[in-house]
Every structure is written in structure tokens, then in C-alpha cells.
Homo-oligomer: A and B are copies of this chain.
Amino acid sequence: MDFLADFFIRFLVQFQSPTLGFLIGGMLIAALGSKLKIPNPIYQFVVFMLLMKIGLNGGIEIREANLFAMALPAFFSILIGLAIVRVGIAIFGLLPGVNSADGFATAGLFGAVSASTLAVAIVMLEEEAIAFEAWAPALYPFMDIPALILAIVMANIHMKKEENGGGEVDVNVWGIVKESLRGSALSALLLGLALGLFTNSGSVLESFYEPLFRGFLSILMLIMGMEAYDRIKELRSVAHWYAIYAGFAPLLHGLIAFGLGYIAHLLVGFSPGGVIILSVIASSNSDISGPPTLRAGIPSANPSSYIGASTSVGTPVAIAVAIPLFIALAQIVFDI
């Protein structure tokens, strides 16, 4: 009972979070017929600012990480990110009535990582006095960025195929990959990543991109809410599929990561605390880096689907179910 109550409280708290609040606010004013508009150049700038920050952050995390020690867990993180997206797209492809662009975006969002879920896990590990490698949290960009890129590239390939008749027509896959990477979303993300990796951009990140991030995110959420209102009826017949996926996927993804983390434990001595962190990173679904990237990278996807699935079900499950589950599992498996 305690567990259910805890889950329910976290579920309600999510609705008070400013991120979801601005999204619902946007839907509300659209429903009330408000004439408020965020001009398009501002929207483009907001997305640029958000993606540049995500990229810079990832690049600096990787730059500062101990790449040699973390090589195998980092490789596994990439694999998990790609697998989550691949499997998610396959699942949504089987569900009747689900729009394919929405399925690609939702799979991408569940492959991406939530910084706040990760932060909760770190706090809980410290409370339980379970040690982990200092670089373990820096595994997240290795899962986050490949997952987002794969989702966008696969969505573009799919759309190109549909345009060409929908069948197994020959499409120039490498051409589409290049085209996706040149799109404004991924090129801002990768440019940020490169600048974070190769220049001393920590100061400009800390003084500009980082402090403006949450505010610009609130504006993006408002824009996405206004747009989501117009499209929410598209989801009426399929909303249950998103809820079921969002309820189970975090646990499935975490279990895959736990298994690979266990292998890394045996091969290179990856700590039990590190295995838990890897599992939580895989369970988490991005409420931060995902939406701006996917909104710009798969513009035809309905934000109501992927953000709804993630913030209203996926994140409460990751925090309230997955974190305690993987801590308990580690305590049994590693006898800590």
C-alpha cells in the first residue's frame, strides 16, 4: 500500500513540475482560444539554445571522463541506447493504430536519459551507502545521444520509404543518415558536442547556456502544449498503448542494462553501485534532452504522444519503481 501511495504521490508531483505545468498551460490556453503566439524565430532560437546546451554538456562530460576505465560500460551504454530505440520502434510497429512518427519519437524519448531521475538515484545510493565509480553518472551521454540520433535517422528513412511507395523500395540509407545529421536539430547537438569536447567551453556553458536552459525549456513546453492541444484527439484511440509501453519499458530497459552491467562487473570489475546507475540511466526517459531534439528532428510526430507517455507514466515508474527495484536486485545479486 505504501508503495502504491508513494507512486501516486510522485505521479501527482509530476503535474506540479514546471515542465509539465507549462505543457498543460499551453494546452489550456489553446483550448480557451488564446491569441498568444511565440514568434517562429524565437522558437528556432529556443531550440538552438537547448540543443547547444545538451551537446556542450555531453561533450564536457565525456572530455572530463576517465575514458580508459569506463570504456566497456560506455560501450554497453551505446549498445543499450541503440537497442532501446530499435526494440521500441519494433514494438510500436506492431501496435494497431499507432502513428509511425509518434512511435519513432516515443522510442527515442525512452532511449534518452533523464537527468532528474539520475539525480534521485545518486541521492538514494548515497543514503544506502552503496559506492559507485565517480565517472558512472557520466555514462549518460553515451546512451542519450546515440539513441536520439538513431530515432531521428530511422524516422527519416521510414518517411523516405513511404514517399517512395511504402514497399521495400531501394532507398539511399547513407544519404538519409547524412541528411539527418545535417538537419538543424542534430547539427546543433553535434556541434555542441564537438565544442564541449575540443574547446574550453565550460565557462560559456556555465554562464549562458546552462542558466537559461530551464527557462527556455519552459517556453518550448508552452509551444508544444499549444500544438499538442490541436492534435490530442488523434491519440484518443491509441492512448492505452502509450500507457502500457510507458509502464513496462523502463523496467525492461533497466533489466537489459543490469545484465550488461553484470557482465562488465565480471570482466572489468564495474562496481555494484555502477551497475545500479547504468540500470537507472536505461530506465529513465528524458523529460529534458529528448523533447527539443525530437521536436526539431521528427517534426511530424505528435508531442502529446511522446511527452505524455514519458512525463505522465514513464518518469514516475522510473523513479518510484525502477530505482528501488534495481537497488534491491543489486543487494541480492552482489550480496551487498
Report which A residues bind B (CB closer than 8 A). Answer: 15-18, 20-22, 25, 28-29, 32-42, 44-45, 48, 182-184, 187-188, 191, 194-195, 198-201, 203-204, 207-209, 211-212, 214-216, 218, 222
Contact = CB atoms under 8 A, between A and B. Distances in A.
A218 B191 contact: no
A37 B183 CA distance: 10
B215 A29 contact: no
* Shortest beta-carbon contacts, A-B, top 3: A208-B215, A21-B199, A39-B41
Given A35-B182, A191-B222, A207-B211, 13 more contacts: A15-B199, A16-B198, A21-B198, A21-B201, A28-B191, A33-B182, A36-B48, A36-B184, A38-B45, A39-B44, A41-B41, A42-B42, A204-B218
13 contacts: A16-B200, A21-B200, A21-B201, A29-B191, A33-B182, A34-B187, A35-B187, A36-B187, A39-B41, A204-B215, A207-B215, A208-B212, A208-B215
A188 B34 CA distance: 9
How many copies of the shown chain assemble into the complex?
A: 3
A82 B261 CA distance: 65
A17 B215 contact: no
A319 to B, nearest CB: 16
Nearest to A183: B35
A42 B207 CA distance: 19
A262 to B, nearest CB: 37
A45 B187 CA distance: 23
A187 B184 CA distance: 31
